[in-house]
Amino acid sequence: MPSAINANGATLRIEPLPKDAGKKTNFGVVIHDLDLSNIGGMTLVQNQQSPLADQTEADTDVDALKKAIWENKVVIVKGQKDLPPIKQWELVTRFDPDAPKVHSHGSLKTFNKQGGILSASRDVIGMPGAENVRLIGKGYQGADHYGIKDKTVKKPLSHDWHVTELPAEEFESGHTRFQRWHLDAPLYERDPAWFTTLRCIKRPTSPKVTVHWDDGSGQTLETEPGLTAFLSNVQTYDLMTPDEKAMADHSWVEYAPHPYQWMGNCRGNPNGLGVASQGYEKPLEELGEWNPKFVKRYPMVWVNPVTGEKAFMVHGICVRKLFLRSSEGEEPKVIDNVEEIRSWLKRIQERILRPEYIMLPEVEEGDIVMWANWQCFHTAIDYPDSFGPRTMHQANVSASSSPVGPVPITTCG
């Protein structure tokens, strides 16, 4: 159970996210009465059982929040309507003070040049004076949005990159899809952020849309428009068999150089998980300059540094090689055929892709959602433009450390 945080004697309420009947999600909390603009101005302490109980350093409050994110995976802090973008950025850097002070996808210039599918298909705008806080959304952003004048986001994250088409009239009637299940990660050069923060400035709340898996399973999920969906890859791990767990614990993956350029012409599966194998991956020699030392090899299983939980964290759309083994001494079997890689991952990852394991927290305007990016997948869900504009401020920072697996892996050679 989540613990209460006390701020100078005042109790902050941490409550589990409300769950519909039948839900099997075991993560997510809501925090009330916390002013993130002023978080350094007060001392927070966890309850008496916490190892943080006696800390008095200036960032004890940030540490307590950080711990809450690692423990609960998804945290919604209510009522941050007046949080200036620069304060969101400051908070993100205080979560990981040793991290390089740049967004995990690099500067906007780097992102727009090297972001491949992440940047080519949508508008991402840096907030004036806080470039690492990114405005993402759709539609008209207002006459003056923190200095951004009369901006209309014409290229939002959209539903139309899936391999099977969603006819416009069906989409307009509220039939939508998960856009792309992912963690926020460059998977080249820089390490993925521990956490991502996403503040909701504006979104429509009605009418509802229905997410369709459109993969033959017939599964659907109804939701308000403009929300982000989450699943816990700790739960993905929990759903694996003992043999699969042994293999995942000892195996690793290698991501492509400039992975989002490499797979930039691929199309997503209609349920948002993984891409179709149609031979559209670019040959490495067409990726421009890349440095082998920046290519990322990560364990398949990432251990939560606070709770010790194991999460199956493989971003399948960017993987170029699997190294499979079930014990430390074993020579790994290398799989470098993307079709084989994807079908191996799909068998494991689709198990969690069921309505009962998906959390769709109802983030209201002014709320900020923060999640343990090393433990979850998330996805946007598109909705018809006619429902109204969406404005979100997103920020994270490339982590100061690399994910650690249950056993050491070979990261070079």
Nearer to Fe ion, 213 or 230 (CB): 230
* Beta-carbon-side half-sphere exposure of residue 406 (alpha carbons within 13 Å): 19
Nearer to Fe ion, 14 or 380 (CB): 380
Q: Which stretch binds Fe ion (CB under 5 A): 56-64, 157-165, 179-187, 328-336?
A: 179-187
Q: How far is CA 353 from CA 93, 121, 213, in A?
A: 32, 25, 9
Q: How many residues bind Fe ion (CB under 5 A)?
A: 1
Q: How far is CA 37 from CA 84, 194, 363, 397, in A?
A: 7, 21, 19, 18
Interface with Fe ion in residues 282-341 (CB under 5 A): none
Q: Which stretch binds Fe ion (CB under 5 A): 178-186, 218-226, 240-248, 341-349?
A: 178-186
State in angstroms the smallest separation of the CB of 287 from Fe ion.
22
DSSP summary character for residue 168: H
Q: 51: how many CB neighbours lie within 10 A of its CB?
A: 9
State in angstroms the smallest separation of the CB of 182 from Fe ion.
6
Q: In whole angstroms, what is the distance from residue 29 CA to residue 13 CA?
A: 10
State in angstroms the smallest separation of the CB of 156 from Fe ion.
13
Spell out, one character per residue from 209 to 238, where the chain touches Fe ion: x when CB under 5 A holds, - when not: ------------------------------
SS (H, E, C) 192-214: CCCEEEEEEEECCCCCCEEEECC
Nearer to Fe ion, 145 or 315 (CB): 315
State in angstroms the smallest separation of the CB of 58 from Fe ion.
30
Nearer to Fe ion, 12 or 360 (CB): 360
Nearer to Fe ion, 59 or 189 (CB): 189
Q: Are 28 and 15 within 8 A, CB to CB?
A: no
Alpha helices in 30-165 (DSSP H): 60-72, 85-95, 108-114, 117-120
Segments of 105-263 assigned E as strands = 125-127, 130-140, 144-145, 148-149, 152-153, 175-176, 195-202, 209-212, 220-223, 228-232, 252-255
State in angstroms the smallest separation of the CB of 392 from Fe ion.
10
Q: In whole angstroms, what is the distance from residue 225 CA to residue 204 CA?
A: 6
Partners of 252 in the beta sheet? 299, 323
State in angstroms the smallest separation of the CB of 28 from Fe ion.
17
State in angstroms the smallest separation of the CB of 296 from Fe ion.
17
User: 334-352 b/e with 16+ CB inside 10 Å = b?
Assistant: ebeebeebbebbbebbbeb
Report the residue closest to Fe ion, judged by CB.
184
State in angstroms the smallest separation of the CB of 103 from Fe ion.
12
Residue 254 binds Fe ion (CB under 5 A): no
Spell out, one character per residue from 56 to 75, where the chain touches Fe ion: x when CB under 5 A holds, - when not: --------------------
Q: In whole angstroms, what is the distance from residue 11 CA to residue 44 CA?
A: 9
Nearer to Fe ion, 230 or 298 (CB): 230
Q: Which stretch binds Fe ion (CB under 5 A): 156-164, 180-188, 304-312, 318-326?
A: 180-188
Q: Which stretch binds Fe ion (CB under 5 A): 106-114, 184-192, 206-214, 341-349?
A: 184-192
Residue 382 binds Fe ion (CB under 5 A): no
Residue 184 binds Fe ion (CB under 5 A): yes
Q: 76: how many CB neighbours lie within 10 A of its CB?
A: 24
State in angstroms the smallest separation of the CB of 228 from Fe ion.
8
**Region at 215 (left for phi over 0; alpha for psi -120 to 50; beta for the rest):** alpha
Q: Which residues bind Fe ion (CB under 5 A)?
A: 184
